[in-house]
Amino acid sequence: MSTRQLALESRPLRVRLGRGSAAVAALPGAAAAPAPVPTPSEPAEPADEPPTAVEQRGPAGPAEEPSAGPGPAADGPVLTPVPLTPVPAVPAKPARPPLVPPLPAFEPVGASVLPALPALPAFEPLFRDAPALNWVGPDDRWTRAWGLPPAGRAVAELEPAGPADDRPAAPPRPPNAEELVLIRAALAAVQPVADRAMAHFHALMFLRHPELRAMFPAAMDDQRERLFRALRRCAGYGEDAAALREYLVPLGRRHRKYGAQSRHYASMEECLVAALGRYAGSGWDERTEAAWRRLLALGAHLMVEGATEQARTVPPWWQAEVVEHRRATPDVAVLTLRPDQSYPFRAGQWAALETPWWPRVWRPYSLGSAPRPDGLLTLHVKAVQAGWVSNALVHRARPGDVLRLGAAEGAMTVDHAAGENLLCLGGGTGIGPIAALVEEVAEHGAAGRRVEVFYGARRAADLYRLAELRELAARHPWLTVRPVLSAEGVASGGELLGELPEVVARYAPWHGFTAFLSGPVAMVRGGVAALRRCGVPEGRLRHDLPPERVR
């Protein structure tokens, strides 16, 4: 045996015992730790029910440092016998959680007793008691519907954009050609590190104006990408003031649902100039900064103008109660919503939507029905992979849930006075707005026009609105419905086989038709290209994708 082994064996044994540990219970003469007993002031949580997503348990605290047992002597551990104490019996699990007695009201020195906080009101159907206009603020109906506590901020801090007197009388001068060169050069220098630059901008804004953080979602990746894309579009329009207005005025209207106000744009300008100056490199100078300030001032003016005009007649959002949730396919749900007040829209339009499960995350969804006398709305939602909002709407939403809706947007609407023939391409859930257009034409009367509908999906089981459309076609001779399947297989019910744009091109020419396209981006992009080759003029192509996504 080596000298080291002899030394190790001769060392005294030291044992550190933790209170309530299995090692203590196993040692003879050690006292067993009494089991914790729930008290009325600290009700026990049921072990068989995990925490819900709305009510997450907090992380466990740091582990308690185990306390040492009796101090060991030099020649080994000494265990002092301790008389065993009886373990109290664990009471039976109560049928209902014990009541928690209210805490006494806190009374500071020299002040009166504070009143107890009122309980949250019970949920009521929104249609019975709807306000004239919605607003963002503490204890609004949206907050109460989610069961959230009041934010504690004054209502004046959260109201939409103010009256027209708050903005300049005339828009700032747009950048000239020389300034546009400087603006685009700075953007080109920032582009390789665009994500870092936009993250720096948001960090500056939240540091200097922490009250603005609540307007943004928790995950900012999408926000950074969208902001830099917006800057590129503004710089790309150049001296085309009409195009810049057409882009920024609706953008200002959309920002109302986030709670944006006119004074916020000045804060944004300062932080954005600082972020661009940090990452634009050596080319950033006083002239470049002045050019950017001119462009940002013009953009802020146009966005405030759009928000102010809309605020006179339209709320920043509508609250809508889910009254029906139907699964059309395993990954497609049809939701019927009841807004809290009249919701103006046209067939073929879309609306941004926010759910209580992903606050401040808005996603666009096409309205799947024409305006109805009862005011109900329909959405067709497909759960996509890693889609936060879509998966929540398909797999989690139930009747009684409350959603937020932005104002209806989109130019994919029918001019009933023109009387042109309609060529409609609907892929997947894109059939929703296409069916809404058909419903609206049937309501107004075809007036001698023809309506050709090509309904595409991968499999026959995904054509969940085919029976409804065929029933409409049986009643209206001006309507023709052609189902198209893109997956390889055999058409069992008269479906056409092939990709939807290719199948539509087989039936060309489409002279005198106005085309409406709705569905996945790839399908819309392919359909636009195919119809252009078939001779359909650019002015007769209707869809809601931005121009850069169609090219």
Q: What are the tokens at 305? A: 């103008």
More confident residue, 85 or 246: 246
Question: Do 336 and 263 have their domain in common?
Answer: no
Residues 303-312: what's their mean pLDDT?
A: 91
Residues 38-57: what's their mean pLDDT?
A: 31
pLDDT of residue 548: 61
Question: Do 425 and 397 have their domain in common?
Answer: no
Question: Do 304 and 335 have their domain in common?
Answer: no
CA distances from 517 to 106, 148, 381, 412, 527 (A): 63, 40, 17, 8, 7
Question: Do 432 and 521 have their domain in common?
Answer: yes
pLDDT of residue 446: 82
Question: Do 207 and 249 have their domain in common?
Answer: yes
Residues 78-95: what's their mean pLDDT?
A: 46
pLDDT of residue 507: 94
The answer to whether position 453 is within a domain reads: yes
CATH number at residue 379: 2.40.30.10
% of residues, the chain, pLDDT over 70: 68
Query: For residue 152, is pLDDT > 50?
Result: no
Q: How far apart are CA 423 and CA 542, in angstroms?
A: 10
Question: Do 200 and 329 have their domain in common?
Answer: no
Domain total of the chain: 3
Query: For residue 432, is pLDDT > 50?
Result: yes
CA distances from 439 to 53, 197, 309, 443, 473 (A): 39, 47, 31, 6, 11
CB-based contact 134:315 (threshold 8 Å): yes
Boundary of a domain, candidates 379, 405, 431? 405
Q: How far apart are CA 258 and CA 104, in angstroms?
A: 39
Question: Do 351 and 273 have their domain in common?
Answer: no
- Residue 247 backbone dihedrals phi, psi, to 5 degrees: -85, -40
The answer to whether position 49 is within a domain reads: no
pLDDT of residue 547: 65
Question: Do 518 and 473 have their domain in common?
Answer: yes
Boundary of a domain, candidates 405, 435, 452? 405
Confidence band of 448 (pLDDT split at 50, 70, 90) = confident
249-263 per-position pLDDT tens digit:
999 999 999 889 888
The answer to whether position 119 is within a domain reads: no
Query: For residue 330, is pLDDT > 90?
Result: yes
Residues 347-365: what's their mean pLDDT?
A: 93
% of residues, the chain, pLDDT over 90: 55
- Bridge partners of residue 320, in order along the sequence: 339, 403
Query: For residue 48, is pLDDT > 90?
Result: no
Query: For residue 381, is pLDDT > 90?
Result: yes
Confidence band of 491 (pLDDT split at 50, 70, 90) = low
pLDDT of residue 467: 93
The answer to whether position 461 is within a domain reads: yes
Pairing relationship of beta strands 332-339 and 377-382 according to DSSP bridges: antiparallel
pLDDT of residue 129: 39
Query: For residue 124, is pLDDT > 90?
Result: no
Domain limits at 192? 165-311
Q: How far apart are CA 329 and CA 333, in angstroms?
A: 7
Confidence band of 465 (pLDDT split at 50, 70, 90) = very high
Question: Do 469 and 546 have their domain in common?
Answer: yes
Q: What are the tokens at 540? A: 């007769």
More confident residue, 5 or 478: 478
Question: Do 172 and 296 have their domain in common?
Answer: yes
Confidence band of 22 (pLDDT split at 50, 70, 90) = very low
The answer to whether position 92 is within a domain reads: no
pLDDT of residue 95: 53
CB-based contact 286:280 (threshold 8 Å): no
- Bridge partners of residue 425, in order along the sequence: 454, 517
Question: Do 232 and 286 have their domain in common?
Answer: yes
Query: For residue 7, is pLDDT > 90?
Result: no
The answer to whether position 456 is within a domain reads: yes
- Residue 85's nearest CA partner among 37, 38, 35, 21 is 35
How does the average pLDDT of the chain come out, rounded?
76
Q: How many CA atoms lie within 13 A of 256 on its CB side?
A: 31
pLDDT of residue 219: 86
Confidence band of 264 (pLDDT split at 50, 70, 90) = very high
**What pTM, to 2 d.p., does this model score?**
0.67
The answer to whether position 258 is within a domain reads: yes
Boundary of a domain, candidates 270, 287, 311? 311
Question: Do 307 and 322 have their domain in common?
Answer: no
Confidence band of 162 (pLDDT split at 50, 70, 90) = very low
CATH number at residue 530: 3.40.50.80
- Bridge partners of residue 426, in order along the sequence: 455, 518
Residues 61-67: what's their mean pLDDT?
A: 33
Query: For residue 525, is pLDDT > 70?
Result: yes
Query: For residue 206, is pLDDT > 80?
Result: yes
Residues 87-105: what's their mean pLDDT?
A: 44
Q: What are the tokens at 129? A: 């008691």
Confidence band of 92 (pLDDT split at 50, 70, 90) = low
Query: For residue 42, is pLDDT > 80?
Result: no
Q: How far apart are CA 486 and CA 498, in angstroms?
A: 5
Residues 137-159: what's their mean pLDDT?
A: 43
Q: What region, left, alpha or beta, does residue 549 occupy, with left being phi > 0 and alpha being psi -120 to 50 degrees? A: alpha
The answer to whether position 85 is within a domain reads: no
Query: For residue 156, is pLDDT > 50?
Result: no
